[in-house]
Structure 1
Amino acid sequence: MADINLNEQNPEENRFYAGFGRRIIAGIIDGILLILISGFTAYYLGLTEGWRMLLMMIRHEEVRTMDGILVTTALPGQVATFILVTCIIIPWLYYALLESSKNQATLGKMAARAVVTDLHGNRITFARASLRHFSKIISILTFCSGFFAIIYTRHSQGFHDIIAACLVYYRQEKIE
């Protein structure tokens, strides 16, 4: 009789969904990395003026350029560019590129040993990863209930996972 490895025969049987705690840890790691990446990118692209002006706006101070000129627009171009690059473009590319890569995970998910797949266990496309990323806005706008849904749904899916038709699995350590 030949030895049959059940894991190779039906890989679906040994898959576990990544739970809320594992995904929170991955999110914290990704958040820290995104702050670092965005900060360095803003510095090297010369967007620090936008950061400085944004801080002045938050503190309800008069917004002035480095030359001392008073800015009277509601949203100065430097601030808009800073927000666009650091809060929209960099996180989108980080999540979409890494989750659609061969690793199927961001750096935080890799550390937490989680992978993002479609409903059939296949790697997701860049478009689906982008949809999943921007769908997180819905999860946030519903008072984060979209993230808490991970605890209560059958396949540990948040609203953004359901919208993008994705699953997040826990990748077990292989001991050989």
Structure 2
Amino acid sequence: MTRYGGFWWRALAYLIDAIILQLALSVLGGALGFGLMLPLAGTGSLADAVIGFSMLGMILVLLVGQWLYFALMESSRLQGTLGKLAVGLIVTDEEGRRINFMRATGRYFAKFLSGLILCIGYAMAAFSARKQALHDMMAGTLVYKTRDPSSLSAQ
């Protein structure tokens, strides 16, 4: 019998993903030149405007980068991000099948609501019967503690 992925396994997976994303997106932001204008901060309205647009650009890179990372990885044949794979978790729909990109996208953006309500949406994974966080319930997904998605179809 395959177990559901509990709160602490999911938290560890997210920590791994956060480190990976921070490194990758920092390199990408540097390659795109974000941050090069910071020495000009406070020197004039044009420089401040450029810095503002640079920061806005980096925020967009972060948001789009994180969304694509989570949605593409969780909807791929791997069924999980690098952090989830490292701790042995996969994401499925409620029937144990691989989720598509649109469901993974909905799951990602539903995480904002999980965090917005004082992270109670995330904590729900510790107390719900199938270890679902709020965003899992909204997206109709489950997280299993297994490295073999084919083991779910045998149940």
Give the TM-score normalised by structure 1.
0.77
Considering Cα pairs closer than 8 Å and 6+ residues apart, tell me whether 1 or 2 has the greater RCO.
Answer: 2
Match of 2:23 in 1: 36
Match of 1:159 in 2: 134
Identity rate of aligned residues, in percent? Answer: 35
1:102-158 alpha-carbon deviations (Å, 9 max, x no partner): 000000000010000000101001111011011100011100000100011111000
Give the superposition deviation at 1:15: 1.7
Mapped to 1, the partners of 2:67 and 2:36 lie a distance apart of 23
| 1:138 partner letter | L
Comparing both structures, which one devotes a greater share of its residues to helix?
Answer: 2
1:63 to 34, 41, 50: 41
Match of 1:27 in 2: 14
| 1:139 partner letter | S
Give the superposition deviation at 1:82: 1.0
1:71-95 alpha-carbon deviations (Å, 9 max, x no partner): 465x821111111112x01100110
2:57 aligned with 1:81: yes
How many residue pairs match? The answer is 147
Mapped to 2, the partners of 1:161 and 1:126 lie a distance apart of 15
Q: Mind listing any 5+ residue stretches in structure 2 that lack a counterpart? A: none
Q: Mind listing any 5+ residue stretches in structure 1 that lack a counterpart? A: 1-13, 54-61
Give the TM-score normalised by structure 2.
0.87
1:126 to 101, 125, 140: 101
Stretches of 4+ aligned residues off by more than 2 angstroms: 68-73
Mapped to 2, the partners of 1:145 and 1:132 lie a distance apart of 16
Match of 1:17 in 2: 4
Mapped to 2, the partners of 1:22 and 1:165 lie a distance apart of 20
